[in-house]
Amino acid sequence: MDEIMEILEEARPDVDFTKETRLIDDEILDSFDIISIVGELNDAFDIEINVNDLLPENFNSAEAIFELVEKLRQEA
Amino acid sequence: MIKTVLDLLWRQEKERPEQTALADENSEVTYRAYASDVRKIGSYLLAHVTHGEIRKPVAVLIDRNLRSIETFLGIACSGNFYVPVDPALPEMRVQTILNELQPLAVLDATDGGHKCKVPALSVREILEGTEGDMSAAGSKTETAESGREQNLETILSGMIDTDPLYAIFTSGSTGVPKGVLIAHRSVLDLVHSFEDAFNFPDGNVFGNQAPFDFDVSVKDIYNALYCGGTVQVIPKRMFVMPKTLIPYLAERKVNTIIWAVSAVRIVADFKVLTDVEPETSLQLKDVMFSGEVMPVKALNYWMDNLPDVRYVNLYGPTEITCNCTYYVVDRRFDAGSALPIGKVLPNMRICLMDEQQHRIRETGRIGEICVEGTGLALGYYNNPEKTAESFVRDPETTGYQNLVYRTGDLGYYDETGALMFANRSDSQIKHMGHRIELGEVEAALNAIDFITIACCIYDTEREKIVCIYQSEAGDKKQIVAELGKWLPKYMWPNKYLKYEQIPMNAHGKIDRALLKQEILQKK
């Protein structure tokens, strides 16, 4: 989780990822944030997040992103 | 005679009143309704805001909706020009733009939900007839209505094609954004040259991605208007979570997309075309892109998945009305090779100039790309100095005043005679689809109290703006909080390096060459 928080905060130092739960629904993250975050997550955890994983429910909070990464790591 | 883009609208209203002209996720209008809304907005402005003033700016808070487009033409209909403003921009930036402009009014074309506090007239209420005294009067007698129409008629018949249509703000190197002012005739010239070069069929459907404060969207709005087609405004969230993007293009029967390179790349980066359901019947015929260099790898992904589409690389800065050159991709390129920016569009002329202002004609030699033609902007609004710097007399034409626009882009001709983009002659960069002056980012950084000195370097390979700073106090979070008051998010640096002492060269200036070397070589 710490590593994910680091990636998120690197991408968007202005967002409090411990609190936000509507990162996508409230348009806090834009397409470029998603591209850079997904790229970093793929590299850091050796996973491949594909278009079918790109759903608001997987990216609305740091917790949701953590769960997605865990799921993909187990599948790998 | 076709003098303004409004004449195109009246023509379509007459020829195909029932055809869908504009659509967004939740609504659509026919050409009949489009023209009627435009006149309504124009009449309202004339009666309550502009009172017959012409060629003055009217700002528009934009949204991803068709009402924004109607508002643009409504303002044109009042004889004035529109200036799209993204309400999500930092408040200080919006204020600065409005101070530069001194607009007659600010119109709110959004569906609400933004935090911009600027007082604005609601276009929804104008169209519903509930804004201000329109409803209070309650006595909208026929004579009053036709009186307004007559006034509008006077304004319209007095317009000429050199009147300004819009101004779009771009990043300025000294720290203040510049408003590029474009005339009706330049937009008419653009649609004529696109017709010549690409021949869009009648009723063609354009899938709009580009935000309306970005001139890529000008091509969607006016090419559709010219060929009696439809603008489908694609919701922004489909570029964030792109799974629904391709089905949406299919459902809305989109034929042509003219997108920023960054948006075309999203589809390739996330392999959005790979998992599309087989029953999705895309009707896509053209994929056109501009704004920055298209990576061949991303283009090849598209070409592998949609081999029958026409792919076109477009090139040009806002100052010459969208584009001046194009390249229809006619073969497969190897990953890592560069796509030409090609040949000049009809009724445009380009030349390459060396530092002594002499034309370069030989193959391979690099020079500044200069453009001449009807597409040239009227200049930067309220900024004669910047205008004079970039719009200059062509040194080879001595007998009369012939202006060329100096793009600041460097290019050369390859062996086949195609124009190739090399790089910039200054510190302007293309980052995430945006044109950014690093000088503006630096000006904002150096204006922060606790920063001693700062500069920016662009790491092209990693696509990151790197900020190098020296400060008494404050960390990255605090810097971003300060920058966020002035710079839009896409201009924020992506990486921050704190130096005890920033290296200086013999002239007492930041040693950028050394910093660049240090940073770009670091893994």
- Predicted confidence (pLDDT) per residue in B27-50, tens digit: 999 999 999 999 999 999 999 999
- Residue B263 to chain A, least CA–CA distance (Å): 9
Domain count, chain A: 1
Question: Of the candidates A13, A24, A56, which has its C-beta nearest B476's C-beta?
Answer: A13
Closest CA to B496 of B514, B475, B482, B521: B475
Q: Is residue A61 part of a domain?
A: yes
**A35/B240 touch (CB, cutoff 8 Å), yes or no:** no
For B7-30, the pLDDT digits (tens) are 999 999 999 999 999 999 999 999
pLDDT tens across B320-333, in order?
A: 999 999 999 999 99
- Inter-chain residue contact B241 with A55, CB threshold 8 Å: yes
CATH numbers and ranges of domains, chain B: 5-173 (3.40.50.980), 346-424 (2.30.38.10), 434-521 (3.30.300.30)
Query: Cα(B483)–Cα(B441) distance, rounded to whole angstroms?
Result: 9
Q: What is the mean pLDDT of residues B142-160?
A: 77
Question: How distant is the Cα of A10 from the closest Cα of chain B, in angstroms?
Answer: 8
Give mean pLDDT, residues B243-269. 96
Task: Decide if A48 is inside a domain.
Answer: yes
Q: B480 vs A14: CB contact, 8 Å cut-off? A: yes
**Whether the predicted pLDDT of B513 surpasses 50:** yes
Measured between alpha carbons, how far is B209 from B193 in angstroms, rounded to an integer? Answer: 22
For chain A, the average pLDDT equals 94
Give the one of A24, A27, A32 whose C-beta lies nearest to B432's C-beta. A32
CA distance B261 to B432: 9
Mean of the pLDDT values across residues B493-519? 91
B414 — pLDDT class (breaks 50, 70, 90): very high
Chain B positions with Cβ closer than 8 Å to A: 236-237, 239-243, 262-263, 266, 269-272, 274-275, 432, 476-477, 480-481, 484, 489-490, 494
Residue A39 lies in domain: 2-13+24-75
Q: Is residue A19 part of a domain?
A: no
| DSSP conformation class of B394 | -
- What is the domain-level CATH number for residue A44? 1.10.1200.10
* Residues B243, A51: C-beta atoms closer than 8 Å: yes
Mean pLDDT in residue range B467-492: 93
* Residues of chain A neighbouring B272 (CB-CB closer than 8 A): 51
* Inter-residue contact B131 to B121 (CB < 8 Å): yes
CA gap B65, B25 in Å, rounded: 8
- How many contacts does A have with B, using Cβ atoms within 8 A? 53
Q: Does A18 reside within a domain?
A: no
Question: pLDDT, tens digit, for every residue of B178-234?
Answer: 999 999 999 999 999 999 999 999 999 999 999 999 999 999 999 999 999 999 999
Judge: A36–B494 Cβ closer than 8 Å, yes or no: yes
Describe the strand order of the beta sheet including B230-233 as a list of residue ranges: B28-30, B20-23, B230-233, B205-208, B256-260, B286-290, B310-315, B325-328, B343-344
Residue B139 has pLDDT above 50, yes or no: no
Q: In the 8-state DSSP scheme, what is residue B214?
A: S
Question: Is the pLDDT score of B140 beyond 50?
Answer: no
Q: What is the ipTM of this complex?
A: 0.95
DSSP B229-240: -EEEE--GGGGT
Q: How confident is the model at residue B275 (pLDDT cuts 50, 70, 90)?
A: confident
Q: Is residue A41 part of a domain?
A: yes
Tell me which long-range contacts A61-68 makes (C-beta under 8 A, separation of at least 24).
A61/A17, A61/A20, A61/A21, A61/A22, A61/A23, A62/A1, A62/A4, A62/A5, A62/A8, A62/A17, A62/A18, A62/A20, A63/A21, A65/A4, A65/A8, A65/A37, A65/A41, A66/A1, A66/A4
DSSP B504: B
Q: Between A66 and B461, name the one with better pLDDT.
A: A66
Chain A residues bordering chain B (beta-carbon distance below 8 Å):
11, 13-14, 24, 27, 29-32, 34-36, 38, 50-52, 54-56, 59
Residue A71 lies in a domain: yes
pLDDT at B134: 45
Residue B137 has pLDDT above 50, yes or no: no
